[in-house]
Amino acid sequence: MPDLFKWKLATKDLDLEELEDKQFDFMMSNTKSEYIFVFDTSGSMDGTRIEKAKDALKFFLSSLPADSFFNVIFFNSYFYPAFQGSSVKLTQENLASVLQKIDQSHAGGGTEMYPAIEHAYTLENIPGYTKTIFVLTDGDIGNTNQVTSLVRSKSVHGYSSLYSIGIGSGASEFLVQEIAKSGKGKSVMISDEEDPKDKLGSLLAASLIPRLSNV
């Protein structure tokens, strides 16, 4: 089993021994999912916080199952998809392209989360691949109810799920928890002083558990 998943999955019923019994390595090479990362680059992310968020995003991207599609939607006052129209296949070329865009991103502007998440849901569906959305944010917003209603409406039929990561002490725990709950996912809060990798590893592993349960 890859080191990434040797963290305790405290929020799920399956433990590591059960995962190994279900041939976890086989599943990592055969899981079919589309991963969309909604990445907050608003002004409050300036400084060490955006660097921590960049590291978190790179960690996710380097840990995806081999047969994945992915996209990154940067947002502040506006949103900017790394790849227009639809997600792209996980290849070394596409990964290198998005890593460059992550490195070039900088903090500035407001925190307009709703249009970015809405765009994630409107990206062209990829036949045979489920949609998993991760939201990384350090802020608070004034339209939490609107965002949670959007996420809930898109998660009714089980074709997509949403997970959220709150970065730093300024993140609204209520927002981070509620959007994940609405998206039938999980959430984690990462303090300014905390190494995020343990929690991120568990969160990504948790996103795979529903697929493993069908083995």
Q: Give the domain extent around 115.
A: 33-73+81-196
Q: Is 154 within a domain?
A: yes
**Is 130 part of a structural domain of the chain?**
yes
Q: Is residue 204 part of a domain?
A: no
Residue 213 included in any domain: no
Residue 166 dihedral angles phi and psi, to the nearest 5°: -95, 125
Is 90 a member of any domain?
Answer: yes
Task: Classify residue 17: in a domain, yes or no.
Answer: no
pTM given for the model: 0.85
CATH number for position 161: 3.40.50.410
Total number of domains in the chain: 1
Residue that is written with structure tokens 């960690």 in the block = 59
User: Highest-confidence range of 105-114, 161-170, 189-198, by mean pLDDT?
Assistant: 105-114
Kindly state whether residue 159 falls inside one of the protein's structural domains: yes
| Other CB atoms within 10 Å distance of the CB of residue 214 | 7
pLDDT in tens, 146-157: 999 999 999 877
Answer whether residue 214 is part of any domain.
no
12-56 pLDDT per residue, tens: 444 444 555 454 555 555 668 899 999 999 998 998 889 989 999
**152/82 Cα distance (integer angstroms):** 25
In the chain, % of residues over pLDDT 70: 82
